[in-house]
Amino acid sequence: MLINRFLRRGFCTAVARPWLFVGLGNPGDKYKGTRHNVGFEMIDAFAESQGISMNTVHCKATFGQGFVGDAPVLLAKPQTYMNLSGESTGPLAAYYKLPLNRVLVFHDDMGLPCGVLRLRHNGGHGGHNGLKSVMNNFRGIGRPPGQMDPKAFLLQKFNAIARERIDTALQEGVEVLKLLLSKGLTESARHFNTIQKYKHIRLQNMPA
């Protein structure tokens, strides 16, 4: 507890207010590598790229913190299971006194083709149970084929083609997050979403 208080004071008195990046997913090996867990994968990819250790448990989340340049960053993977993600995200934001516009949530989105990303300023949850208290949207996984049950689709592991697209998208995500930390959300979203729009057109009718 004393360590957490010290870290909170250090981050909140930093030159820049920290960003909280939250990846949504389900804990446990059973869900690892499934479509529903791409939010966790985005956090892991970013943490690895920046040398940030995810070795702490804080507010019911696997947690890490560090700096990207001069920008302080908090990384979290709620361990509450997807539908209760707010039980972790809300207390984390409150603990570090962060407004909603400093919280970015990464999650699966069946409205986007597999491997396409979108950075959104705000918006509704769109029926996503893990997003009912958050306003940011990031990550596409594609729609279920035919009449396949959406729940079964979300908990399905990626095939080889989809896995390759997701791995590429994760690296694109890492780059846009670094851009966001230096340029801000508005400029980053405008630039990034234009690129992803053409990727969307190219991939929307391709199976994965």
Would you name the residues annotated as active-site residues?
36
Q: What does the alpha-carbon distance between residue 165 and residue 141 come to, in Å, rounded to a whole number? A: 10
Kindly give, in sequence order, each residue whose CB lies less than 8 Å from that of residue 166, ignoring residues fewer than 6 positions away. 38, 41, 114, 115, 141, 158
Kindly give, in sequence order, each residue whose CB lies less than 8 Å from that of residue 129, ignoring residues fewer than 6 positions away. 82, 83
**Which H or E run contains 171?**
helix 160-183
Closest CA to 46 of 104, 7, 95: 104
Q: Which residues pair with 56 in a beta bridge?
A: 63
Q: Are 64 and 47 in contact (CB under 8 A)?
A: yes
- Helices and strands (DSSP H and E) totals, the chain: 6, 5
> Strands, E, within the chain: which ranges?
19-23, 56-58, 61-68, 71-78, 103-106
Q: What does the alpha-carbon distance between residue 155 and residue 34 come to, in Å, rounded to a whole number? A: 5
